[in-house]
Amino acid sequence: MTEARCFRCGRRLPGPIQEGLTRWVREVLGTEAPMTRVVLFIELAVFALCMLVDRRMPLGIGDAFRRSTLLRFGALGGPLGDEEPYRLLAAVFVHAGLLHVAMNMMMFVDLGRKLEAEIGGARFLLTFVGSGVLGFVASELWYAPMRPLTVGASGGVFGQIGAVVGILYARRDPEWRRALVRYLIYAVLLALLLNVNTAAHLGGFAAGILLGFGFHEERARLGLTRLISVGAALALVASVSSVALSARSPVWQAFRAYELEHE
C-alpha cells in the first residue's frame, strides 16, 4: 500500500498516472526548451477544451470532434479565413482527434527541442507560429473557393523542418540539398497515404525555410534579440487571443444549432 501524503510535510503525493505523465514530460522535454513546453501546453489545453465540449475523445481515422466544436476553437473552412482572419492563427492550435494531436505533438516536441536550442525560444516561436499561419494562407489560396474544414499544427511542424533546411543553407552546409529532397518526399508520401492538407504542409515548409535562413542571418549580422523577444511575446498573446475570438464567434453557434436539429 502506497502512502497518499508525505509523512514529513503532509502534502498529497502524486498518484501513479500523474507521476507517469510528469516523468514523460521530463524525459521528452528535459529541463530545456521552455517555449516548446509553453506551445505544447496551449495545444493540449485547446484539445482538452474540445473534449470537454464534445464530452468524448475521438481517436481519429474517420472519427473527429463535431464540426461545431472545431469551429468553436478556430477551424477554417469556406469563407471563414476571409471573414475571420484570426482563424488563420487559431487553427494552428486545434486538432480533430487523438491520433491527429498525438502525431503532430510528437513531431513538434522532437523538432522543437533541437530548433529552440539552435536559435532560441523567441525565434523558435515565431518560426512555428509564422509557418503555421502562412501554411494556412497557402491552403486558403490553393483550395479557393471550395475550402474544406481544416485544422492542425502540421503547417507549423513542417515550418520547423523547413527552418532546419534554411539554417543548413545559410551555413553553406551541403546537407541542405539532401534534407530538402528528403522532407519533400516525406510530404508527398503523407499526401498519398493520408487525408492531409498538403497545401498547408508545403506552405509551412517553404515559410520555415525562409524564416530559418532569415533568423540565422539576423543573429549573425544584426542581433535583434530584444526586438525578436517582443515579437514572440506578441505572437504568444495573439495565439491565445485568436482561440478566444473564435470561441466568441456566432458561426459555431449557428452550426451547433443546425447539428442539434439534425441529430
Domain ranges of the chain: 1-31, 39-262
- In this predicted structure, what is the pLDDT of residue 192? 64
144-166 pLDDT, tens digit each: 888 999 999 999 999 999 999 99
Of the pLDDT bands very low, low, confident and very high (cuts 50, 70, 90), residue 2 is very low
Residue 246 to residue 76: CA distance in whole angstroms: 10
Spatial distance between the Cα atoms of 107 and 223, rounded to a whole number of angstroms: 29
pLDDT digits 0-9 by tens, 175-234: 888 888 888 887 777 666 667 888 999 999 999 999 999 999 998 888 888 999 999 999
Model confidence over 21-78: pLDDT tens digits? 556 555 555 567 899 999 999 999 999 999 999 999 888 777 889 999 999 999 999 9
CB atoms within 10 A of CB 156: 31
The active-site residue, picked from 68, 95, 131, 201, is 201
Are residues 39 and 70 in contact, defined by beta-carbon separation less than 8 angstroms?
A: no
Widest distance between CA atoms in the chain: 65
Distance between CA atoms of 258 and 101, rounded to whole angstroms? 27
DSSP helix/strand/coil, 150:
strand
Per-residue model confidence (pLDDT) at position 21: 53
pLDDT tens per residue across span 95-133: 999 989 998 999 899 899 999 999 999 999 999 999 999
Q: Is 154 a catalytic site residue?
A: yes
Residue that the C-alpha cell 464534445 belongs to: 54
How far is 241 from 204, CA to CA, in rounded Å?
21
What's the pTM? 0.85
Told to judge if 201 belongs to the known catalytic residues of this protein, a careful annotator would answer: yes
pLDDT-based confidence at residue 7 (cuts at 50, 70, 90): very low
Q: What confidence score (pLDDT) does residue 176 get?
A: 81
- Kindly state the average pLDDT of the residues 6-35: 59
Q: Give the active site residue among 68, 131, 139, 154.
A: 154
Question: Rounded to 10 degrees, what is the CA torsion of 42, 46, 49, 50?
Answer: -160
Per-residue pLDDT, 32: 77
For 39-262, CATH gives 1.20.1540.10
Stated length of the chain: 263
